[in-house]
Amino acid sequence: MPLSNRCKPVPADQLLETLSSAVLVLDLKLHIVFLNPAAENLFEISKRQATGQYWPDLVSAGETLVNRLEAMTKARQPFTERELELHTATGHRMTVDCIVTPSGNEDLLLEIMQIDRHLRIAHEEHLLVQQQAARELLRGMAHEIKNPLGGLRGAAQLLESELQNDGLKEYTRVIIGEADRLSNLVDRMLGPNNVLENRMINIHQVLEHVRSLVEAESYPGLELQREYDPSIPDFLADSELLIQAVLNLVRNAAQAGAQKIILVSRTQRQFTIGHTRYKLVIRVDIVDDGPGIPSGMQEKIFYPMVTGRADGTGLGLSIAQSMINQHHGIIEFTSEPGQTVFTIYLPLGAENA
Ligand SMILES: Nc1ncnc2c1ncn2[C@@H]1O[C@H](COP(=O)(O)OP(=O)(O)OP(=O)(O)O)[C@@H](O)[C@H]1O
Ligand SMILES: [Mg+2]
């Protein structure tokens, strides 16, 4: 077969659009001439806002990089900066590898790979596998407890009906009451079943439902705010499960003593969950101003039975993660005193993978 038949030319624009690395072109004064969607995503800025801006104003990249870029406008020698720390205008910190090459006569081409994200994806996958194993173990135990518990409760009920002495009935009532309490716990340990009841829903129905539930629980001094992106399209999901997952996260923030919780909805382009890269995902941030999660606990909080509360069962986050995983999504968080953000990523239809 002739070579020309095997290698079809692909338009450069199309390649840049789908590339997962951020690509920027700067002019000799370091003003942005072009950026691809991955760069828009990384720096959280639209092409329209970014074009013409002085790049070092947009991200604080440290003097070294700016000096090297300025030197390069004269010497035009390509260079690579590894493990560079960038701060975006929106306050995000990231570690990147940056390759700079001269492009044409006038421009500089920057390729930027966010390496902390790659490290994080690998780390996340590892954690998800471990969390799933822990959940399976717990489900197995819950199954084993459930059957004898039913027998125990039934026998106590029979015994109660035979007893004449009210004083003795008090004991059977304790058995029945405790069996019911354990049965509720075991049902929570079993978690959601594997069948999703999917229909077209809007993420804001879910968020508004949770908001009204949490408002009805009237936590003292708690204010619930929302920042929604109304353009987010409907998608196929099990709204009951999503409500439960979001509720678990919002309740945690309220129980931790937050005075303000903000529900934020956004879309994000080109996002990787597990092994799959999605063109478009919904992102829901639950931002609270509470005391944060102690650093020693952060690695473990998605494991079942891990709790920092005296009356907690430690199942809420594990269940929420499992419900979001069933929708091919993931929950992540960052936490420091005064600001904890739990973020739910949900792909907008698996077909956009
Ligand atoms: N927004 C938050 N701020 C501070 N700590 C949090 C937050 N979210 C979770 N945590 C910590 O993580 C722990 C685990 O949460 P998880 O929801 O899994 O269990 P729980 O709330 O203790 O019990 P359950 O949800 O089963 O009633 C909590 O006990 C709390 O210590
Ligand atoms: Mg909880």
* 194-215 tens-digit pLDDT: 688 899 999 999 999 999 999 9
Q: Which atom of ligand 1 is nearest to the CA of 318?
A: 18
Contact of 24 with 39, CB cutoff 8 Å: yes
Ligand 2 centroid from CA 99, angstroms? 44
φ/ψ (deg, to 5) at 220: -60, 130
Cβ of 115: how many Cβ atoms within 10 Å? 15
**Which of 190, 317, 322 has most ligand 1 atoms within 8 Å of CB, for mutation?**
317
Query: Cβ neighbours of residue 5 under 8 Å, at least 6 residues apart?
Result: none
pTM above 0.85, yes or no: no
Does residue 349 surpass a pLDDT of 80? no
307 in contact with ligand 1, CB cutoff 6 A: yes
Q: Which atom of ligand 1 is nearest to the CA of 315?
A: 26
- pLDDT band at 5; cut points 50, 70, 90: low
172 in contact with ligand 1, CB cutoff 6 A: no
